[in-house]
Every structure is written in structure tokens, then in C-alpha cells.
């Protein structure tokens, strides 16, 4: 497997499920404890060795670009007030010069279209795709696990992160068919979008992390609109699977769908309980709130 150096982050969505909070603030900037959603996902990519961070943005998303830039007035104020710890945190989160790129998806034409918009920045090499409203809590992170699995394969393959879901919920997800096991991965025999439980090939759902070969761009350039009038990534992957292998990786860790209110709140609790500085007080406060319920 060729080295994975670049990652795409599609951040052009409207975040309508979080209105009115997302009227002026992108959903990707909503905080999980004290770090924006997008920062958590970028941290996962950086841990996995990603060197070039490609953000596919839309209107009113300039605050994301500002977040990954220096803010000299804030830094000067922190220096003047002796806030060394806070200044260090800002420095750690800042990508190195020239390693973050931003491109526009002018029309909301779906995830597949967002990926296609990054084609010139990715070029002719495999890349990672991370959906910013999905967090995976584990060390090492989900993408690092996927890259390790990819390196163990003897071919340039496409890899999709999957996890088990209850059978009565498979109709809410894209579900994969399970074939031969290769190391920690398995060959994917098919992909079905939101099947009925009786028709589902497994209970393993696609979970917002992908490693894709550059040939996907050519497929996407010819892809017709699918469900909802959008260019669907799943449709393009199904087409590419006719000529290239696809593998699934059942990763270690727990995912949180932060595009839903419950998933977002659960992520805040889980990540808060992981923090030594706030976990004891958070746990005590939860016990007080839930006492007798």
C-alpha cells in the first residue's frame, strides 16, 4: 500500500439538525469539551501520520479556516498575561505552514461531490477521508488502525471502517457484506445503503472513515445523481469495486455520531470522563442530576 499522506475533511454541510446553534457557527466548530469537533478529527489524522489536511468548505465556513490559522492579537494577549499553557495549546493545534488547504463546494451536491472537489489537491495518490461529525474514541485512533491494516495488505486497496450495529438499526446505515479475512481486515462483498433488516448482508455499518484510491475521482466525475439528487459516495465505491478490491476494518473503539443531538451529548460526556482534570467533578455532577432516576 502506498503511503497515505493526505486527508480530506468535507465540512460544507449546513448542520440543520443543530439549528439555531449552527445559524452562524459551523457544526464542525461545536465544542466537544473544549475542542471543536473538527479539531478532534484533525488530531486523529495527525496521529495517523497525515501530512496534508484538505478541507472542502462552503459558504459561512471561514471560521474553520481561521481556527487553523494564527491569531496574533490573542497570542499577544496570552504572552502579556503569562498564559504559557494556553499559548502552548494553540501552538500544538496549529498545522505547519503549507499543510492545510481549503477548497469550495459551491453547491450542496452530496458527499461524493465534496470528495470530487478535492481532486486537484489530492492528485494521483491514495488518500484518507474523514467525516468530521463522526468521532472515534480510542488510542490509537481509527485512521491509524486503518493505515496499519492497509500496510499489511499486499495490494493497493480501498478500506472502509465498520462497526457492529443492532439488527433493528441496520436500516439507518450503509451496510457491508463480509468476505474472506485478511489480517485484521476482510474483503467487502457488497455495500447496501439503509437495507431492511431481512435484506442486510451483515450488521456491520460504514462509519465515516475511508482510505480510497485516486481512481475514485474518475468514477465520481461520471457519477449520476442518486438518492436525494446528490452524488453519492457509496454509488461511486460500488462502481470502483468492480475493478479494485475493497476491505472493511472492524476498528477498536467507540464511535459517536455528532451529527445527532444524542451522539453529540454522549461524546461530550465520554470525552469529559476521559479528562483527569474534570472527570471527578463531571461524574459527581452526573450522579447528582441522575439521583433517584
**Domain definitions of the chain by residue range:** 6-290
Q: Going by C-beta distance under 8 Å and a sequence separation of 6 or more, which residues neighbour residue 154?
A: none
Secondary structure string (H, E, C) spanning 24-59? CCCHHHCEECCEEHHHHHHHHHHHCCCCEEEEEECC
Confidence of residue 293 (pLDDT cuts 50, 70, 90): low
| Per-residue pLDDT reduced to its tens digit, 189-244 | 999 888 998 889 999 999 999 999 999 999 999 887 776 778 889 999 999 999 99
Crossing angle between the packed helical segments 261-273 and 279-290, to the nearest 10 degrees: 130
| Per-residue pLDDT reduced to its tens digit, 125-179 | 999 999 999 999 999 999 999 999 999 886 788 999 999 999 888 988 899 999 9
6-290 — its CATH code? 3.90.550.10
pLDDT score for 109: 83
Cis peptide preceding 20, ω within 30 of 0? yes
Confidence of residue 292 (pLDDT cuts 50, 70, 90): low
Q: Per DSSP, what are the bridge partners of residue 6?
A: 52
Confidence of residue 1 (pLDDT cuts 50, 70, 90): low
Give the pairing type, strands 246-250 and 204-212: unpaired
DSSP helix/strand/coil, 277: coil
Q: Per DSSP, what are the bridge partners of residue 153?
A: none
Q: Are 209 and 130 in contact (CB under 8 A)?
A: yes
* pLDDT mean across residues, the chain: 91
Amino acid at each position: 500500500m502506498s503511503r497515505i499522506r493526505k486527508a480530506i475533511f468535507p465540512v460544507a454541510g449546513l448542520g440543520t439538525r443543530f439549528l439555531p446553534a449552527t445559524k452562524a457557527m459551523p457544526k464542525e466548530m461545536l465544542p466537544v469539551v473544549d475542542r471543536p469537533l473538527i479539531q478532534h478529527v484533525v488530531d486523529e489524522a495527525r496521529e495517523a501520520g497525515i501530512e496534508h489536511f484538505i478541507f472542502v468548505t462552503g459558504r459561512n465556513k471561514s471560521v474553520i479556516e481561521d481556527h487553523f490559522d494564527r491569531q496574533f492579537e490573542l497570542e499577544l494577549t496570552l504572552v502579556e498575561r503569562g498564559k504559557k499553557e494556553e499559548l502552548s495549546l494553540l501552538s500544538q493545534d496549529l498545522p505547519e505552514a503549507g499543510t492545510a488547504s481549503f477548497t469550495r463546494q459551491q453547491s450542496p451536491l452530496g458527499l461524493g461531490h465534496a470528495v470530487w472537489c478535492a481532486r486537484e489537491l489530492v492528485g494521483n495518490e491514495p488518500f484518507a477521508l474523514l467525516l468530521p461529525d463522526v468521532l472515534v474514541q480510542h488510542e490509537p485512533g481509527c485512521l491509524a488502525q486503518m493505515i496499519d491494516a492497509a500496510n499489511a495488505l499486499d495490494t493497493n486497496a480501498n478500506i472502509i471502517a465498520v462497526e457492529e450495529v443492532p439488527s433493528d438499526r441496520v436500516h439507518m446505515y450503509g451496510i457491508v457484506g463480509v468476505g474472506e479475512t485478511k489480517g485484521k481486515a476482510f474483503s467487502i462483498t457488497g455495500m447496501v445503503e439503509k437495507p431492511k433488516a431481512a435484506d442486510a448482508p451483515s450488521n456491520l455499518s460504514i462509519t465515516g472513515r475511508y482510505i480510497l484510491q485516486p481512481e475514485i475521482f474518475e468514477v465520481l466525475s461520471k457519477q449520476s445523481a442518486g438518492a436525494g439528487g446528490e452524488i453519492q459516495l457509496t454509488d461511486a465505491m460500488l462502481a470502483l469495486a468492480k475493478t479494485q478490491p475493497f476491505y472493511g476494518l472492524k476498528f477498536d473503539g467507540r464511535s459517536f455520531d455528532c451529527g445527532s443531538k444524542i451522539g453529540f451529548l454522549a461524546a461530550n460526556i465520554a470525552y469529559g470522563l476521559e479528562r483527569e482534570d474534570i472527570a471527578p467533578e463531571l461524574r459527581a455532577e452526573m450522579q447528582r442530576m441522575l439521583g433517584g432516576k
